[in-house]
Amino acid sequence: MFRVGLISDTHGLLRPAAMDFLRGCQRIIHAGDIGGVALMEALSAVAPVTAVRGNNDRGEAFADLPPTATIELSGVRVHVLHDLKELAIDPRAQGVHVVVSGHSHKPLVEEREGVLYVNPGSAGRRRFRLPISVGELLIDGCEVMPRVVELDG
């Protein structure tokens, strides 16, 4: 079983509960609006990180972050971007199994036309009444089991 931690919209705040959840992951995906280099360093101490630039990730510190990334993890192709509305590929035609996004701060797990869409929600400061959450993908062969976990009540 390959465990991938999902986090997004931290906006510079890395909660201890989020770090606890991510421990033991073989990979971490950050879907943008990171908000700080120190946050990326802390995540990298847990597992290798794939991150994309969010609309608030500005300046020299984030200049090298791509707007999208497509990676293969344990035979599963994952496409990462910040804002799902900016999806510029046909995931199914590109052989993508999972699309991971952030931006909305709204957790989402949904399958569309054989492609799994996952938004772990926001692990940063609370926005409106939306939950603080993170997620994971458990990959076992060709099976992908997504989960989003609320960090506080």
CATH number at residue 143: 3.60.21.10
Sign of CA dihedral 31, 32, 36, 41: positive
Q: CA 107, CA 105: separation in Å to the nearest integer?
A: 7
| pLDDT string in tens for the chain (153-residue length) | 999 999 999 999 999 999 999 999 999 999 999 998 999 999 999 999 999 999 999 999 899 999 999 999 999 999 999 999 999 999 999 999 999 999 999 999 999 999 999 999 999 988 888 999 999 999 999 899 999 999 974
Strand ranges across the sheet with 68-73: 68-73, 76-81, 98-100, 115-119, 108-112
Range of the domain at 122: 2-150
Nearby residues of 2 by Cβ (< 8 Å), 6 or more positions away: 26, 27, 73, 74, 138, 139, 140
- Nearest 5°: the CA angle 9, 10, 13 is 160
What 3-state DSSP class applies to 61? Answer: helix
In this prediction, residue 153 carries a pLDDT of 46
Domain count, the chain: 1
State the residue for tokens 């991971």. Answer: 100
The count of other CB atoms within 10 Å of the CB of residue 124 is: 22
